[in-house]
Amino acid sequence: METHKTWMAVALLAAVAGAATGCTRETVGGAAAGAAVTGGAYEYQNKQAMDELNAQRDRGEISQDEYDRRKSEIEGRSIVY
């Protein structure tokens, strides 16, 4: 649900910025789509990082403290986790 709110805010900001600068509807839509794609790429990287972190913990390569610290870092830069 939180992700939906974030993307709605991005779309609203793009529409307001477009209206303020005289951009067309197509330009505003393209800006919102570009923001969505960029956000999706970051979330994909965060998912890969979480998967690798979980695998390292499961293999015993890192301590629980290290796992918790790194998980917190990923959560801090993600809107999904």
Q: Please give the model's pTM, rounded to 2 decimal places.
A: 0.53
Summarize pLDDT for 32-78 with one digit per residue, the tens: 666 556 667 778 898 999 999 999 999 999 999 999 999 999 998 87
Domain assignment present for 60: yes
Domain assignment present for 81: no
> What's the pLDDT at 41?
78
* Maximum Cα–Cα distance across the chain: 56
Tell me how far apart the alpha carbons of residues 71 and 46 are, in angstroms, rounded to a whole number.
10
Domain span at residue 34?
2-76
Here the tokens at position 63 are: 């301590």
Which residues have CB under 8 Å from 3's CB, separation 6+? 79, 80
3-state secondary structure of 81: coil
Summarize pLDDT for 5-29 with one digit per residue, the tens: 566 566 666 666 655 555 566 655 6
Overall domain count for the chain? 1
> What's the pLDDT at 66?
98
